């Protein structure tokens, strides 16, 4: 029997021999199917030498007014003040982990107060982050949250030169920011093609986690187009990203920047194996606008969108579960002016296919305000092309209308509609006030709900505007359509719930049991 050291050597020899056999088999083309060529682990040293000089450390501070302890402030009170001059790395750690930030001490009990003095303005560090050089003349890309609230931004290059940076612009919706330093001949990064990036591909990050400058970590692309933001489909990786890495580059094996490291999914505040990066093509589109005008102009059409399930698609006659379901159309919006209705399913916008709900705000947001475009919608079994003019998304959206109505319709003692009752619906006419408020021609309002309808999600007060793609203007029309439906199949209701629209699928009695 071999001792442990010899066993390890023997295992290594056997493994090497097996690897050689597999390699020969792969080269000879033997076997029924081609073998995968397993490559060795990548060497990142050349990438670090190539890209490292383009990565910068960013430290931010804010100007605050402080007073000497125990009565030196303008008000003469004894409220504690935060320490100024705290090490930024420690401050970043305390903020990230939710720990209290040290305060200026209060006066001991009984201590004599000093005469009030004018507060002094000092710089208080806010945190640390990373960035990378976009152009040789000093434009630098980073995250908006890295510089948020800062009055001073200090950029340090790998050669230890420090520059005070000017904030060109920041966009919180995409978490992208551009700053500028007065320097020339800087080593700019090369930008990669995100479309060529593949899941499983090796990538590398360089940044300043916890203030440790030019730290290098590596991993693979875990997923693409991860929907965690309204305007951005993130790149997910398992590259170690920690506080301070924000704003640094995600680099492929060709030495090209493919993303900006932006977020981590964590329960502890540190790296847990899921890191998210902003695709560089999306970031550059934002950066170009920031450099041109200091802000980003986004399109707006005034709808709220939801997803389309497979059951809903089948019930409506769609061949695939795709598109964005219009849940609500805002008043005085381009969509309202164009005639878009709650319940419409958007399948294309400005020629771009809309596969899922999150595609719509991205397509609209990337459209220049003032553009006249076409939106293709599926409405009650028909395809419609609707023209509209895209407006500009304002920083603060208009206050949303209140859901529901103050008009309480009179309740009859009984309902004559048997087919509706079998589903669990007691229907009444829609009041004139509700028609006017929600811009409806008519419908059948749910007075009370029970049974299968209640289980499917129908609520009291909902207004049914269509059944099985057939419009209904009153309870009588709803009863006629319901009585014609196959009891062995699901029934889809198009409803209005206050200003919002939706579809509800009521399954047959056999399936409900």
pLDDT range class, residue 488, cuts 50, 70, 90: confident
How far is 105 from 377, CA to CA, in rounded Å?
Answer: 64
The model's pLDDT over 330-384, given as tens digits with 9 standing for 90+, comes to 888 999 999 999 889 999 999 999 998 888 988 998 898 999 999 999 998 899 9
d(CA 279, CA 281): 6
What's the mean per-residue pLDDT of the chain? 80
Sign of CA dihedral 197, 175, 303, 313: positive
For residue 297, the cross-strand partners are none
CA 167 – CA 163 distance, rounded (Å): 12
Q: Is the pLDDT of residue 24 over 50?
A: no
Q: Catalytic one among 35, 123, 137, 145?
A: 145
pLDDT at 171: 92
295 pLDDT more than 80: yes
Give the model's confidence band at 182: pLDDT under 50 very low, under 70 low, under 90 confident, else very high.
very high
Share of residues in the chain with pLDDT > 90 (%): 38
Decide if 429 is catalytic.
no
* 238 belongs to the catalytic site: no
pLDDT tens for each residue of 124-145 = 777 789 999 999 999 999 999 9
C-alpha to C-alpha distance for 332 and 336, rounded to whole angstroms: 6
Cross-strand bridge partners of residue 190: 256
296-325: average pLDDT: 88
Most trustworthy range by pLDDT among 65-69, 92-96, 235-239, 268-272: 235-239
pLDDT category at 500 given cuts 50, 70, 90 is confident
Reported residue count of the chain is 513
Position 448 scores a pLDDT of 79
- H runs (alpha helix) in 238-370: 280-293, 310-316, 334-338, 359-365
Looking at per-residue confidence, does 23 or 214 come out higher?
Answer: 214
The pLDDT assigned to 323 comes to 92
pLDDT band at 30 (very low <50, low <70, confident <90, very high): very low
Specify whether the CB–CB gap between 96 and 169 falls below 8 A.
no
Mean pLDDT of 441-450: 86
CATH class in words for 299-392: mainly beta
Is the pLDDT score of 296 beyond 50?
Answer: yes
Architecture of domain 190-293: Beta Barrel (2.40)
* pLDDT single digits (tens) 232-287: 789 999 999 988 899 999 999 999 999 999 988 877 767 888 999 999 999 999 99
Nearest in space to 374 (alpha carbons), one of 346, 415, 394 = 346
Domains 190-293 and 299-392 share a fold: no
Query: Tokens 């690897």 map to which residue?
Result: 19
Domain residue spans of the chain: 52-101+117-180, 190-293, 299-392, 418-512
| Selected catalytic residue, list 175, 359, 429, 462 | 175
pLDDT at 236: 94
For range 425-450, the mean pLDDT: 86
Q: Which fold has domain 418-512?
A: Pdz3 Domain (2.30.42)
Is domain 52-101+117-180 in CATH 2.40.10.10, yes or no?
Answer: yes
Query: Between 71 and 480, whose confidence is greater?
Result: 480
pTM of the model: 0.63
Q: Where are the beta strands (DSSP E) in 115-252?
A: 120-133, 139-142, 152-156, 162-171, 176-180, 190-191, 202-207, 215-227, 233-237, 249-252
Q: How confident is the model at residue 78 (pLDDT cuts 50, 70, 90)?
A: very low
Quickly state the pLDDT bin for 508 (edges 50, 70, 90): confident
pLDDT score, position 433 = 84
CA distance 37 to 57: 39
Question: pLDDT (tens digit, 9 = 90+) per residue, 392-427?
Answer: 987 643 333 222 223 333 333 344 577 887 788 888
pLDDT of residue 346: 95
CA angle in degrees (0–180, nearest 5) for 475-479-481: 115
Confidence label for 96 from pLDDT (cuts 50, 70 and 90): low
Phi/psi for 361 (5° steps) reads -60, -30
- Mean pLDDT over 160-177 rounds to 93
- Catalytic-residue membership of 246: yes
Confidence of residue 486 (pLDDT cuts 50, 70, 90): confident
């Amino acid at each position: 029997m071999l001792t442990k050291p010899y066993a390890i050597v023997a295992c290594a020899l056997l493994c090497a021999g097996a690897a050689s056999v597999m390699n020969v088999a792969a080269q000879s083309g033997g076997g029924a199917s081609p073998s995968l060529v397993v490559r060795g682990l990548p060497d990142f040293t050349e990438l670090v030498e190539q890209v490292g000089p383009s990565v910068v450390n960013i430290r931010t501070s804010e100007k605050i007014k402080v007073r000497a302890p125990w009565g030196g402030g303008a008000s003469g009170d004894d409220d504690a003040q935060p320490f100024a001059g705290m090490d930024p790395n420690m401050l970043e750690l305390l903020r990230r982990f939710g720990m209290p930030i040290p305060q200026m001490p209060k006066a001991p009990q009984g201590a004599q107060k000093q005469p009030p003095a004018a507060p002094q303005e000092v710089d208080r560090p806010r945190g640390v982050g990373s960035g990378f050089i976009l152009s040789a003349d000093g434009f630098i890309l980073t995250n908006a949250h890295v510089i948020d609230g800062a009055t001073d931004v200090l950029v340090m290059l790998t050669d230890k030169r420090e520059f005070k940076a000017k904030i060109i612009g920041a966009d919180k919706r995409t978490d992208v920011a551009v700053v500028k330093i007065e320097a020339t001949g800087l080593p700019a990064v090369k930008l990669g093609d995100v479309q060529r990036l593949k899941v499983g591909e090796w990538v590398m990050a360089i940044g300043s986690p916890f203030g440790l400058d030019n730290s290098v970590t590596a991993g693979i692309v875990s997923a693409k187009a991860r929907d965690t933001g309204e305007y951005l489909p993130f790149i997910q990786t398992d590259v170690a990203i920690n506080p301070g890495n924000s704003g640094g580059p995600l680099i492929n094996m060709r030495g090209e920047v493919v993303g900006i490291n932006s977020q981590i999914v964590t329960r502890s505040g540190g790296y847990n194996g899921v890191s998210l990066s902003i695709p560089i093509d999306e970031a550059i589109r934002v950066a170009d606008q920031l450099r041109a005008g200091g802000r980003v102009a986004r399109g707006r059409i005034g709808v709220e969108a939801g997803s389309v399930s497979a059951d809903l698609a089948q019930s409506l006659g769609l061949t695939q579960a795709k598109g964005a379901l219009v849940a609500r159309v805002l008043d005085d919006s381009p969509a309202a002016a164009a005639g878009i209705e709650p319940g419409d399913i958007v399948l294309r916008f400005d020629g771009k296919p809309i596969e899922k709900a999150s595609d719509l705000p991205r397509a609209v947001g990337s459209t220049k305000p003032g553009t006249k475009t076409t939106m293709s919608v599926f409405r009650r079994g028909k395809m419609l092309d609707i023209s509209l003019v895209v407006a500009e998304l304002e920083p603060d959206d208009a206050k949303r209308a209140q859901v529901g109505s103050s008009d309480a319709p009179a309740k009859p003692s009984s309902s004559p509609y048997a087919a509706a009752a079998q589903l669990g619906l007691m229907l009444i006419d829609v009041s004139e006030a509700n028609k006017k408020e929600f811009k409806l021609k008519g419908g059948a309002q749910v007075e009370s709900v029970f049974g299968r309808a209640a289980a499917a999600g129908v609520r009291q007060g909902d207004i049914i505007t269509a059944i099985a793609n057939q419009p209904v203007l009153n309870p009588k029309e709803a009863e006629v359509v319901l009585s014609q439906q196959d009891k062995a199949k699901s029934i889809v209701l198009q409803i209005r719930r206050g200003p919002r629209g939706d579809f509800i699928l009521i399954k047959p009695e056999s399936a409900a049991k």
